[in-house]
Each structure stands twice: as C-alpha cells, then as structure tokens.
Structure 1
Amino acid sequence: MDICFRRFQLMAKKSFSLIAMALLLSSCSSEPPVSLVTPSTPVTPGKSQQSQEPMRGIWLATVSRLDWPPVSSVNVSNTASRIRQQQNALTNKLDQLKSIGINTVFFQVKPDGTALWPSEILPWSDLMTGTIGENPGYDPLQFMLDEAHKRGMKVHAWFNPYRVSTNTKPSTVAELNSTASQHPSSVFVLHRDWIRTAGDRFVLDPGIPEARDWITSIVAEVVSRYPVDGVQFDDYFYTESPGSTLNDNETYRKYGGAFVSKADWRRHNTQLLIEQVSRTINKLKPDVEFGVSPAGVWRNRSHDPAGSDTRGAAAYDESFADTRRWVQQGLLDYIAPQIYWPFSRSAARYDVLAKWWADVVKPTNTRLYIGIALYKVGEPSKNEPDWMVNGGVPELKKQLDLNESVPQISGTILFREDYLNQPQTQQAVNYLRSRWGS
C-alpha cells in the first residue's frame, strides 16, 4: 500500500480527479497467479443478476469513423452545419436501431488516446473535427446518452484501453506532438516512456502500473460524470502482430521478477487492470455494469483441459487475457465473447463456443451476451459459405435461436452498426426487424 500511495502522490500532480485517485488507491494489487493453467472451479460469485429484457445490442464504432461520425462532416467548414450533420446522422441511426428492436448501443467513446467527451485527461478526438484537441462544439457522449435514453435505449461506454493511435505514420506523430501546448496533452507527449509500438500502432505498455492507473482514471471520469448504463472494454489488451511485436522486455525486467514466464506476467497485468476498473466502478456507481468483449476462444482444449473443443486464436495465449477467470471471480457483470463463426466452421463452431461459455457463466452471476458477425453476412467466403445462403438469414436465425434457447445466454450483440446499411445485409436486417422490432 505504501508503494501505491507514493504512486498516487506523483499522479496527483497531473490532471486526475481526486475521486478517481481515491478509488484507484483502493484497488492496488500485485499478487502473481498461482499457476499457468487456471482452476476449473469458480472462485467467487459476482453481484446478483438484475431482472431485465434480453440484450439486443449493437456496437457503434467511432475509430477511423467506421460507423460515426460521417466522414464527409469533417470537411464542413461551418461549425453549426458540421454539428447538425453529425447529430442528425446519429439520431437517424438511433431511429433505425429502435425500429429493428435494438435496446442497447455500445458506443465507442475512447477509440484511441483521445476522447469523445470534454475530458480533463484526454484531448478531444480528431474524429469530430479532423484535429486532435479541437473542441467540436458539443459533447458527443452526452448527446448520445440524451437521444438514446429518450428512445428507451441503454448506452454502454465502450473503451479501447491501450490503443494510442491506429498507425505510426510521421504525420500521426506530428499530430500527437502538436498537443504539447494543449491541456490536456496527449499521453504520447506526457508519458512517452509508457508508449510502445505493437501491431503497427502506438499503444500503452500494460506492464506499467501508472499506465493502468491512468486508464482506470479515465473510466472513473466518465462513470462519475455521465449517466452511462455500462462500461465495456473490447478485446484489445496485449495486441501484437508477427511483424510488430510489443517490446516490453525492459518492463518485464523491472516488474516481472515474481513470475516464471513473461506470458504469466502479462496475464497478471491484464488481470490487475480488470480488477482496478471493476472495483472503481462498483465504488463509484454500483448500478453501472462492467463488461468485456473478448475473442470468442478463451483457450483451446489442446492447451488446457478446461478449454473449448476449438482450434482458434485464444485470448489467454495471444491477448494475455484470462477472461474465464474474470467471470469466475465475479469481476464482470457481463461478458460478450465475439463468436464470429458459423455452425459449420469446424475450427471454432458457433454452437460449441456458445455452449462452452454458457457452462462457464452457469455457476456465477455474470451475464453472457454473444457477439455475432453481422459484418460477415452476405459476404462471399470460401471457408464460411453459410453467410451467403439466402442473404445469410438461415445462419443468423440458427445463431439467434440458439442464443434464445440456452438459459445462460442473456442476449446478442451485433458487430457493427454500419453493416445494417450495406446492400448485402438487407435480407438479414429485414429478418431482424421482423423478429425483434415492435
């Protein structure tokens, strides 16, 4: 605790709120895991499940303006016209989602090292204006909350915890450095020693305790200031690619002495972040739900007897995220694994994974939502031709039927919003509207 306190004394000199610091202080932990293979029995239950309607959710991505705001709006020189175009686009989307029967929007508020709200920790996102740090003239998060709640829809604030940028181009470096004279500046400027390159992106090093505290303080800022219904982290924890691995050797030498392997130490770091965020949200606003949307495969049975009968990329081994353990320990209110394969994909069958996750949550109070691949519907695929049959409707129907037939599955989340507007998905969209719409 003394180490934690000294850490926060240093952090207090930065732009972190006192309430976030107090919450974070109660969360410090540094015990290493007992073994590489996680236990097969639950550890502790989470908080009681709330009685609620089935989740019918959708992810609305802002990174690279994938779903919103409209790319064309950034080039509008008149501020009032730009704001009007962005807000109209969002309300039109919400009207469409409401007509389809969507009841929850997972809105990406931190797509990288910037914010879609007036933060005291992060600079304004360039997604709204084209320039990092430039005030867009309104609060996108508050606008989303007002408009969604007006329509009876919930909003979960979706954070990408570690990503700082989507590329490492010289122009991106220049944009990040340009925030040095702003308040707040980019973390790229304030804490250059936290920054690593991985997956051809600038990311925070998850092994640095202060970096994890910084992320937790950002979540605390949103939860304390906004009436969000939930908080979600996506599957980007440790993110590497074969040609762009994360060089955390120095961090491992500094902090990993108690661990037999770097992999075990990395999983411990991810565990600490989840613990901190979970405890912070529970202390600040217990009614705000906390969830994670990890890769669909926790571990393959070939690597762990508790794993699924699959042969896919595993979160435990590749993202260093022991997602099953978080469920068992009651750290999450819900988990939303991304099961983006059809029933016929033998390496990672939809039904095999959905039922495996149902067994994981069964003895706990963690809700299970299944993320499904709307983005694959209607797309030609040699390995997954099912998505092309009758506009993808039969495969979609089978997945939704399974979700509704397994008691432990509490709903479905579609990835992602803009695919509702694509020509190849229209049969599926009509089917969703007939199944879910009022």
Structure 2
Amino acid sequence: MKKSGALIAAALLLASCASKPPSSLVTPLPKPHPAKPAQNQEPVRGVWLTTVSRLDWPPVTSVNGSSPAIRISQQQKALTDKLDNLKSLGINTVFFQVKPDGTALWSSRILPWSDMMTGNIGEYPGYDPLQFMLDEAHKRGMKVHAWFNPYRVSVNTKPGTVAELNRTLSLDPASVFVLHRDWIRTAGDRFVLDPGIPEVRDWITSIVAEVVSNYAIDGVQFDDYFYTESPGSALNDSQTYKKYGQGFASKADWRRHNTQQLISQVSHTIKQLKPDVEFGVSPAGVWRNRSFDAAGSDTRGAAAYDESFADTRQWVQQGLLDYIAPQLYWPFARDAARYDVLAKWWADVVKPTNTRLYIGLALYKVGVPAKNEPDWMVKGGVPELKKQLDLNESLPQIKGTILFREDYLNQPQTQEAVSYLRSRWGS
C-alpha cells in the first residue's frame, strides 16, 4: 500500500473534469470517443458473486461462533469449491463484490473491514478475501473484476445498524457514517451517500484507486445503484441541489450530471493508474423507452435515465467504459421489455464505438413460477436460456454473457439449466 497515497492523489487531481449539463431530454449523438479496443479476447462467460447479506459468499454458518481458524478455513474452502465448480461450467470471469456497502473485503486504509466476514464491522478477518480470490481464480485461469456498490452505506436503517456504525468511531479507519455524517442520506430504506456532493465522488474514486493500485484485478465494475429511491423513501438532496445545482434546467439533469461526473472521474483515474484494468458498468437493462425519447428502445420498463439518473448510453458514446453489461432480465415473450428487442438495441448502441457489450442474464428466475414470465418454467428454463445465448452469439457486438448470480447455480430449480450450461460452455 506504500505508493498508493501519492498515486491516488495525483489520479484524483488529473481526473476531476467538468462537463456541461445536458441541454435537452433527447440525448444528442456525439462523435464516438472510442475506448481501447480489446485484443482478441475470448467471449466473457461470467458470473456475479455477491457478498452483500452473504447471499453467495461467505457461508452464513462460517460466521456463527466458530473459532477464527475454523471460520477462515470454512470461508476459503467454500470459495475454492465455488471456483472449481465455475471452472467446470466454463465460467472464465468472476465479478466479485468487494464493496457491498460502506465496508471493504480488502485491506483498506479508507474503509473498515466488512462485517460479512466476521459479523463485526472493522474486525480483521484473518486473511485478505480479495487477495485470496485473485490468487485462487488466477491459478485456475479465471479473471476477476472487483465489483463496487458506490453509494450504499448500509442495507437498512435499523437502530441496531446505527449503533453498529456508531461503534466504528474508535476504529482506524472508521465508517464514513461517523466520519462524514453530512454526506449521509436515507433512500430506499438504506443509508446512502449523497451523489451530488463533489467530495463524495472524490472519496469513491479514491476507494477504486486504492484497489486498482494495490491488487492485480482484471477489471472494476459498478452496478446499477446510482440514485436508488423507493416510493416511500426518496433521497432528500434538496439542500445539495440548492448548493450545487445552479445552471441546470432541472434537478433530474443535475442528478444525471452528478452520475456522469463519477463515471468520468473513475474512468480517467483507472486509466491513469493501470490502463489495462477494464472499467465497466452493469446498469438496468432499459436506457429509455421510445415513448419518452426517439432514441430509446421499444419497451415499457423502468428506465435508468429517468429513474436512476444514469445516462448509460452517453457513457458508451463518450468512450468512458471498456464494457457495458445491461441487466436484460426478461424472456423473449415479455412484451414490456423483450430480451431480443433490448439485446439488439444495445448492440446498435455499441456498434460505432469500442465499448464491448456483455449481457446480464436472469439465472435467478430460472425454474421459478411467474405469471408474467412462464417461459422460465418450461423444461427447466433450458429453451429460454438457449434462445438468449443463441442470440448473444449471433450478434457480433455481444462479447459475452454474465449470470446473476452464483448461488443460483447450486439451487434445485436451476439444475437442468446448469447441466445445459455445462454442456455448452464446459470443457
């Protein structure tokens, strides 16, 4: 970690760049500013491995009162077993959630250790989970992208969570919740950072820079959590807007500008530190619906541009991303957001650029009864899965597929689909 401080400071200084707010709701088509083209990359066959709430890893049982030695051994064996299984399925890239909230799964000078490992925020887990993942995945010839949730501080706002975050005040580093209380808001019944505060964006960029500087990761990924509100729990950023929103036609334009600033800053910082580390985003599958914007897709779904304040199409056009991985979590027969309509729309978006397109698939829906999407139940979901993978391979702009998420590979309802994946991708 020795050299990281100076590197990060230099990167942040160079990377902060202002851009003008958008002038209209219909995004103009700027000249592509291409990202670096990939050198003969094999198609990505990826999986998201989630650590928030221990959904995929580490095992919940490993945290329940075992001795540290037993806990470490259980966690490491669970991870190597997963990697062996992924390897046998032909998975070549793991998108590993290293920042599930305001805590870290690596040795950080900025964030406290994640309680996902030990049950206690700030407690050293006895090993470095990110380094262990990198060593074991690379040994198996698999790539690892460090997946960050940029703005989430906690998954709930319960009194117990508040007490636990407050207890970190004596730690070094303490939680951002106590160090920068003025940055914290509530949205979607969670504590989150306010994306409109410039220092918040600098802070997030420094976290990414720390990992890029100190670990041999293959990529960095942000998911779709930029502005995440729910009907009963909106983000109150009216004071921030009053302070920083001058010159914008609307709060929505200002919010999109804030998200754009973060993506731009992080992108430039990664490329200054290590140009070969890829930067990608996995947004909601619909950019905008055509009924709102002539450039949008023929869909009727929740749109990233309008609901998360993320102009994901513009990031591709400006060459800020090495790849984009939209979450196309619907079947061919879902009229409001057809898989094929969206896959082709995204293929057209990336066509004039060097941004690679990977598609996020809804493994979590396979084998689960759903009135609006019965195709996931037909023959164990295999025909739908096959159609989606066939389409991905038929469109030259689509360079890979990512499954959401790892633990669904181990569930009884997906086993026919898993056997199919093994026969299609496995060695």
State the TM-score, normalized to the length of structure 1: 0.96
Q: Superposed, which structure 2 residues align to 1:169-184 within 5 Å?
A: 169-184=158-173
Residue 54 of structure 1 aligns with an amino acid whose one-letter code is P
**For the Cα contact (< 8 Å) 2:221–2:281, is it kept in 1?**
yes
Q: Which residue of 2 aligns with 1:20?
A: 8
Q: Which residue of 1 aligns with 2:20?
A: 32
Q: What displacement does 1:34 show?
A: 3.5
Q: What displacement does 1:118 show?
A: 1.1
**For the Cα contact (< 8 Å) 2:51–2:57, is it kept in 1?**
yes
**For the Cα contact (< 8 Å) 1:391–1:425, is it kept in 2?**
yes
Give unmatched runs, 5+ long, in structure 2.
none
Q: What displacement does 1:39 show?
A: 1.1
Q: Which residue of 2 aligns with 1:353?
A: 342
Q: Which residue of 2 aligns with 1:101?
A: 90
Q: Which residue of 1 aligns with 2:327?
A: 338
What SS does structure 2 have at the residue aligned with 1:26?
helix
What SS does structure 2 have at the residue aligned with 1:307?
coil
Name which of 410, 413, 416 aligns with 2:405: 416
Name which of 159, 169, 182 aligns with 1:193: 182
Q: What displacement does 1:51 show?
A: 1.3
**For the Cα contact (< 8 Å) 2:288–2:305, is it kept in 1?**
yes
Distance 1:262 1:233 in 2: 23
What SS does structure 2 have at the residue aligned with 1:127?
helix
Distance 1:201 1:50 in 2: 41
Q: Which residue of 1 aligns with 2:218?
A: 229
Matched, 1:323 2:312: yes
**For the Cα contact (< 8 Å) 2:286–2:342, is it kept in 1?**
yes
Distance 1:99 1:359 in 2: 33
What SS does structure 2 have at the residue aligned with 1:121?
coil
Distance 1:34 1:416 in 2: 35
Kindly provide the CA deviation profile for residues 233-281 of structure 1, in whole angstroms up to 9, marking residues without a partner as x. Answer: 0000000000000000000000000101000000000000000000000
Kindly provide the CA deviation profile for residues 22-53 of structure 1, in whole angstroms up to 9, marking residues without a partner as x. Answer: 10111222333232321135431112222111
**For the Cα contact (< 8 Å) 1:380–1:387, is it kept in 2?**
yes
Q: Which residue of 1 aligns with 2:234?
A: 245
**For the Cα contact (< 8 Å) 2:112–2:121, is it kept in 1?**
yes
Could you say what the CA RMSD is over the residues aligned between the two structures, in angstroms?
A: 0.8
What SS does structure 1 have at the residue aligned with 2:37?
coil
Name which of 131, 134, 137 aligns with 2:126: 137
- Percent identical among aligned pairs is 81
Q: What displacement does 1:388 show?
A: 0.1
Residue 267 of structure 1 aligns with an amino acid whose one-letter code is R
Distance 1:311 1:99 in 2: 38
**For the Cα contact (< 8 Å) 1:156–1:230, is it kept in 2?**
yes
**For the Cα contact (< 8 Å) 1:161–1:233, is it kept in 2?**
yes
Q: Superposed, which structure 2 residues align to 1:234-383 within 5 Å?
A: 234-383=223-372
Residue 24 of structure 1 aligns with an amino acid whose one-letter code is L
**For the Cα contact (< 8 Å) 2:282–2:325, is it kept in 1?**
yes
Distance 1:118 1:250 in 2: 35
Matched, 1:436 2:425: yes
Distance 2:298 2:355 in 1: 22
What SS does structure 2 have at the residue aligned with 1:109?
strand
Residue 298 of structure 2 aligns with an amino acid whose one-letter code is D
Name which of 171, 189, 192 aligns with 1:203: 192
Give unmatched runs, 5+ long, in structure 1.
1-15
Distance 1:355 1:49 in 2: 21
**For the Cα contact (< 8 Å) 2:30–2:318, is it kept in 1?**
no
Distance 1:414 1:77 in 2: 32
Q: Give aligned pairs, total.
A: 423
Residue 295 of structure 1 aligns with an amino acid whose one-letter code is A
Residue 283 of structure 1 aligns with an amino acid whose one-letter code is Q
Residue 246 of structure 1 aligns with an amino acid whose one-letter code is L
State the TM-score, normalized to the length of structure 2: 0.98
**For the Cα contact (< 8 Å) 1:378–1:424, is it kept in 2?**
yes
Q: Superposed, which structure 2 residues align to 1:59-208 within 5 Å?
A: 59-208=48-197
Residue 22 of structure 1 aligns with an amino acid whose one-letter code is A
What SS does structure 1 have at the residue aligned with 2:400?
strand
